[in-house]
Structure 1
Amino acid sequence: MMLFVLTCLLAGCLAQRPHPCSSPALLSGGLTVSTQDEKLWAGAKYLYDALGQRVRVMELGTFENKSFTYDALLLYREGAMYEINEHDRTCKKKPLKGHFHPMEIPKDASLAGQIVLGSSSGPGEGLLVNTWTGDLPDKAGKFMSTVTEFGCIPISTVYHTDQYGWVVTTFFDNVLGISDPGQLNPPGFCLDAGMKVEEEEQTDFLRLFLN
């Protein structure tokens, strides 16, 4: 009888429908971004702090067959973005407009399906993930995001933009936490950087690469 009850409980747990979720508040790792028109490909290291509303992306890529490097620190609570050049020890500070958008699956997203990446034939051979679809913030377009069933760790996100078509972001080597929190503060040589007078930029992960 006890075995029967445990079996039923286990079956009930496995049958639960996935729910929208939020990624860990502190996350770091790598990502790649590519566009449908093949004009952009970039790889980057990212640091994500939802508690302090801070994001840093250090990227290397090609745009229209020209290589580039870019290092940006976004401080949403301060309303500032720093473009950092560690090699030359220079820094540009720009006003940052817009709200911080956490890495999450919105509550109004629709579940497209649940699959196993890899194989379900043996322990450790596969990864259970959920794929969701919905609208980008401010109805700017559509997205399709895949996250792990356990932990809500980002795997990939596909956006559609009028200018570039479909844009694919793939995450890898994700780690819970940030090993060097100091990288989410402006370097010392940035402290004297004055705010550049220009129209405020509304920036997020996607615009960091497309701009």
Structure 2
Amino acid sequence: MVLLVVLTCLLAGCLAQKPHPCSVPPLLSGALTVSTQNEKLWTYAKYLYDALGQRVRVMELGSYENKSFTYDALLLFREGSMYEINKHERTCTKKPLKTDFHPMVIPKDASLLGQAVLGSSSGPGEGLLVNTWTGDLPGKAGKFMSTVTEFGCVPVSTVYHTGEFGWVITSFFNNVVGISDPDRLNPPDYCLDGERTADEEEQTDFLSLFLKKH
């Protein structure tokens, strides 16, 4: 009986703990959508995220100002390079990557807005416990609001503001911890054999992958 009481108290203590800022799993893959307040941009993308090797790949299908586009980009932050990949034509364009790698984390100075259940809390498996945080973008460029799962710190959504597009909403889904095909985070063979290099002044950062004018 004493052991049962102790275990019950420990469990209650764990459940009562206040959520803390966290880091997204270092190896993650899945899908996401990006949409803007002014309705200029909507895109669906599959993504691969490797915080250990500082590599990201996004494969997009979307619409910008009512014009559809496809886009495939591999970002190698340690190398300072980005590859725009055209699988059908087996061509690549290499561009300088001017931004530093920023891992997907909830910063330590972020403020907790609240905890909620997505779906239903009526029965097991019917809901997902999430935490929503707010804080400043890097360089005090604006504010963000991010929602992650309580267990695992898996991203659910992020909202931030830009001068050109207004509020930008990113929603994550079909997330899987790990990367099933790590080779997709390396430039394809045809990139290394016959890549085209863009002008040095044409630099790229991560945000432009979704906000560039197609």
Q: TM (normalized to structure 1)?
A: 0.96
Q: Secondary structure at the match of 2:108?
A: coil
How much has 1:139 moved relative to structure 2? Answer: 1.3
8 A Cα contact 1:60 1:69, kept in partner: yes
Q: Among the aligned pairs, what percent are the same residue?
A: 77
Q: Does 2:29 align with 1:28?
A: yes
Whole-Å separation in 1 of the counterparts to 2:150 and 2:53 = 25
Q: Is there any run of 5+ residues in structure 2 with no aligned partner, and where?
A: none
Aligned length: 210
Counting only pairs closer than 5 Å after superposition, residues 1-211 of structure 1 correspond to structure 2 as 1-191=2-192, 192-199=194-201, 201-204=203-206, 206-211=207-212
8 A Cα contact 2:95 2:204, kept in partner: no
Q: CA RMSD for the aligned pairs?
A: 1.1
What residue identity is the alignment partner of 2:117? V
User: Once the two structures are superposed, what CA deviation does each residue of 1:32-76 show, in whole Å capped at 9, x if it has no partner?
Assistant: 000000011100000000010000000000000000000000000
What residue identity is the alignment partner of 1:195? T
8 A Cα contact 1:39 1:65, kept in partner: yes
User: Once the two structures are superposed, what CA deviation does each residue of 1:127-163 show, in whole Å capped at 9, x if it has no partner?
Assistant: 0000000011111111000000000000000011011
What residue identity is the alignment partner of 1:8? C
What residue identity is the alignment partner of 1:197? D
What residue identity is the alignment partner of 2:15? L
8 A Cα contact 2:83 2:92, kept in partner: yes
User: Once the two structures are superposed, what CA deviation does each residue of 1:102-140 show, in whole Å capped at 9, x if it has no partner?
Assistant: 011011110000000011111000000000000111111
Whole-Å separation in 2 of the counterparts to 1:69 and 1:202 = 17
CA 1:78–1:200 in structure 2 vs 1: closer, same or farther (change >3 Å)? farther
Q: Structure 1 residues 5-14 or 90-99, which shifts more?
A: 5-14
How much has 1:197 moved relative to structure 2? Answer: 2.1
What residue identity is the alignment partner of 2:201? E
What residue identity is the alignment partner of 1:210? L
Q: Secondary structure at the match of 1:201?
A: coil
CA 1:202–1:84 in structure 2 vs 1: closer, same or farther (change >3 Å)? closer
Runs of 4+ in 1 over 6 A off after TM superposition: none
Whole-Å separation in 2 of the counterparts to 1:20 and 1:207 = 27
Whole-Å separation in 1 of the counterparts to 2:105 and 2:187 = 26
